[in-house]
Structure 1
Amino acid sequence: MPEYFQYHKAEPKDVEYLLHLLHRVHTVDAKLKEEFEKHLLKLRIKKDQVLFNENEVCEYIYLIVKGALMGCTTHNKQKITTYISVENDFVSSISGLHGSGYSQEYVVAVEDTELLAVHNNELNRLFEYHFNLNYIFRVILEKYYRDAQQRAYIIRVGNAKERYLYFAKTNPGYLDRLPLNLVASLLNVKASTLLSIKKSFLGLADRHKELEEWGKKIEIHIHKNQSFRHKDIRLQSLAKEVGLSSHKLSIVLNSYFNNSFIDYINQYRINWIKERIRHPDIIQNFTLEALAYSAGFSSRSAFYNAFKKRVGMSPIEYSKNLNK
C-alpha cells in the first residue's frame, strides 16, 4: 500500500500554471478559475514512491509539474511498464478513470515528482456545470488515445530499432533522462538490445558532428584562400592544406557535402563566375572563357560541361537571361 501523502492547497502560481495549459485547448471562464482556486491541491512524492496501487480506487486526477511517473501492471509475476509520463502530462487510473472503479495498474515515481491534483468528486461535479471543462478533457483524452494507439502499433509491428526511433522522436531527451530498463520495458525490448541500439545511434551522431566540424573547416579554408582557383588543385593537395588525410577528406566530401571532389571544387568555381557575370562592367571587359580560366578551369569544354551540369543551361544562355 502507498504511504499516506500530505496534500496541500495549491498556491496562486500553481493555479495559473494549470490554467495556462488548459487555455491552450479552450478558454477557462472566471467561475471555473474560482473552482480551481478552491479545490486544486499540491503534492510532492519521492522517487520510487507509489502514487496509487493496483486494485485500489484512484481518488484524484494529477498533473505533473516536475518529474516523471510510470504506469505498471503485473502479469505472471512480471512487472510490465505500460506508460511513462513527464511534465505537463495528466495522470490517473486508466481503468478506473474518475474514480469509477478499481485500478488495474499502479503508478510509481521515476524521479522526485511535483504534482497538482483535483479530487474526482470535485472534477465530476465541475463536469456537470462547465461545458468548457468537458471540452478540454475530451481533447486531452483524444490526444492520450492517439498516442497510446501509436505506441501500441509500433510495439506490435516495429522492430527494436523502429521502437527506439519512435520513442526518441516522440520523447526528445527522455532516453538520457529515464532509466534504460524502464524504457526497454515500455518498448518491450531487452535492456541490452536497447543499450546496443542507443550506442550505435550515439556513434552516428558523433560521426555526423565530426563531419560537420571538418566540413566547416574546409569551407572556411576555401573561402579564405580561394583554393578552387588553383588549376592544379587535387584531392591530395587540398587535404594537405586543411590537415586531413586524402581518405578522410574524401569521406567528408561524399558523406557531408554529398559531392565528389571535382564537383565540390567546380561548384565554387561556377558560383565565383556567376557572381562576376552579374556585374556589367566585368562581363564587358572579360570573356566567359577568361573568367573560367581565372576561376580555375583548365579548358573551355570542362567549364561549359560543369556549368551546364550545375546550372542547367550553358554560360552564354545564363548570361543572356541576366541581360533580359
Structure 2
Amino acid sequence: MSKYLQYTRPASEDVSHVLNIMGAVHPIDSELIEEFDRHLLRLRIKKDQILFNENEVCEYMYFIIKGALRGCTTHNKQKITTYISVENDFVSSISGLHGLGYSQEYVVAVEDTDLLAIHNNELNRLFAHHFELNYIFRVILEKYYKDAQQRAHIIRVGNAKERYLYFAKTNPGYLDRLPLELVASLLNVKASTLLSIRKSFSKPKERSKDLAEFGRKLELQVNKHQLFRHKDIRLHALAQKIGLSSHELSVVLNSHFNKSFIDYINQYRVNWIKDSIRNPEIMQNFTLEALAYSAGFSSRSAFYNSFKKLVGMSPVEYSKNIEKQKS
C-alpha cells in the first residue's frame, strides 16, 4: 500500500451516507453502526494517483464518496482496463479480496476521488459477529459479478457498436464524463473506432437540435415581419434572412415542420385569414377575396385550394360556421 496515502477521520455525513446505502440492502443494528463510525477512515487521492499496486496486498475495502477509479492489469507492457467504478461503488482488490492474497490488478484515480475505507482486519472481525453485514456484502458482490459477467459476454461476442450501446445503456452519463481512451480500453476497442461510433450516434441529436434552432429563427422572422404577406416571397430570400442556404432551409422545413415551402407559407396565410374572419369589424369592410390578396395569395383559386387543403372546408363554409357559433 502506498506510503503516500494519508487516512483521516471522515465527516459524519459521509459515514451516514455509506450506512444508508448498506441499510437499503438490509437493516443495520446500532452496534454495527457504532463499529463503522469508529473504524471508517477518509482518504482523498488525486487524479492519476495509484490507490494500490499489482503484487501488493490491498489492506482496505473502499467506498467511493465522489470521483472515479479504474481497475487495470498489465499485459505485454499494455495497460488493460478491467473495470470502472464511480460514486456509491465499493472497491478493493478482486484477486486479493479482504487482504487474503496479493493483488493481480492495480487501481488508479480517473478523477480526484474521495473515499471511505475500513481495514480488512476490522471488516473480517465484523463479518464474524454480524450476520447482516455478510448478507449486505453478498448482495453487493452478486451485483458486481452479474455486471462483470454481462460485460465479459458482450466484449467477447459483441461487435464494437454493440459494446458501445451496452456501455451507454448500463452506465448512463459515463461516456460524457470519462476519457474516451479509458472506455475504449474497458470495451477492448480502438479509441478511434469508439470515437467514430460515438459521433454516428450523436449526429441525429445534434441535427435535431440544429433543426429546432433554425426552425425557431424562421418562425421569429416570419411572424415578426409577416413575411408570408409578401406575394413574391421566395425560398432563397427567406433562407438568407436566417443565415441558411436554400437547400438547408428546405431540410428545416421538410424535417422539422414536415412541410414544403409553399405549404409552410400558406399555412401562415390561412391562419391570418381565419383570425380575420373571426373579427366582425374586418368582415364588415373586406371580402374573403380581399383578405386573400392581403394575406399574400396571388389568385382566388390558390386561396380556395390552400384553405380547403389546410382547413378541410372552403373559406365560405368556414365563415358560415363562425357566424353560426356567434348566433
TM-score by length of 2: 0.73
Say how many residue pairs are matched: 318
Conserved 8 A contact 1:44-1:115: yes
SS in structure 1 at match of 2:5: coil
1:255 to 1:280, Cα distance in 2 relative to 1, 3 A: closer
296, 300, 306: which one pairs with 1:302? 306
Residue 38 of structure 1 is matched in structure 2 by 38
Task: Give the CA deviation at 1:219.
Answer: 1.8
Conserved 8 A contact 1:41-1:118: yes
- Equivalences for 1:190-205 in 2 at 5 Å? 190-198=190-198
Residue 187 of structure 1 is matched in structure 2 by 187
Residue 129 of structure 1 is matched in structure 2 by 130
Task: Give the CA deviation at 1:38.
Answer: 0.8
Q: Give the Cα–Cα distance (whole angstroms) in 2 for the partners of residues 226 and 144 of structure 1.
A: 61
Residue 7 of structure 2 is matched in structure 1 by 7
TM-score by length of 1: 0.74
Residue 239 of structure 1 is matched in structure 2 by 239
SS in structure 2 at match of 1:71: strand
One-letter identity of the residue aligned with 2:115: L
Matched, 1:58 2:49: no
Residue 155 of structure 2 is matched in structure 1 by 155
Q: Give the Cα–Cα distance (whole angstroms) in 2 for the partners of residues 263 and 142 of structure 1.
A: 59
1:17 to 1:306, Cα distance in 2 relative to 1, 3 A: same
Conserved 8 A contact 2:60-2:119: yes
Task: Give the CA deviation at 1:62.
Answer: 0.9
Task: Give the CA deviation at 1:204.
Answer: 6.2
Residue 250 of structure 1 is matched in structure 2 by 250
Residue 88 of structure 1 is matched in structure 2 by 88
SS in structure 2 at match of 1:192: helix
Q: Give the Cα–Cα distance (whole angstroms) in 1 for the partners of residues 253 and 33 of structure 2.
A: 59
One-letter identity of the residue aligned with 1:191: A
Identity %: 71
1:24 to 1:301, Cα distance in 2 relative to 1, 3 A: farther
Question: Residues 213-232 of structure 1: CA distance to partner in whole angstroms, max 9, x if unpaired?
Answer: 32221122223233345555
Cα-Cα RMSD: 4.3
Residue 223 of structure 1 is matched in structure 2 by 223
Q: Give the Cα–Cα distance (whole angstroms) in 1 for the partners of residues 26 and 280 of structure 2.
A: 62
Task: Give the CA deviation at 1:104.
Answer: 3.6
SS in structure 2 at match of 1:244: coil
1:143 to 1:234, Cα distance in 2 relative to 1, 3 A: farther
One-letter identity of the residue aligned with 2:245: S
1:307 to 1:40, Cα distance in 2 relative to 1, 3 A: same
Which region of structure 1 is more displaced relative to structure 2, 24-33 or 285-294? Answer: 285-294
1:307 to 1:95, Cα distance in 2 relative to 1, 3 A: farther
Task: Give the CA deviation at 1:117.
Answer: 1.0
Gapped runs of 5+ residues in structure 2? none
Q: Give the Cα–Cα distance (whole angstroms) in 2 for the partners of residues 31 and 273 of structure 1.
A: 78
Conserved 8 A contact 2:58-2:92: yes
Conserved 8 A contact 2:32-2:130: no
Q: Give the Cα–Cα distance (whole angstroms) in 2 for the partners of residues 40 and 59 of structure 1.
A: 13
Residue 111 of structure 1 is matched in structure 2 by 111
Residue 79 of structure 1 is matched in structure 2 by 79
SS in structure 2 at match of 1:299: helix
Gapped runs of 5+ residues in structure 1? none
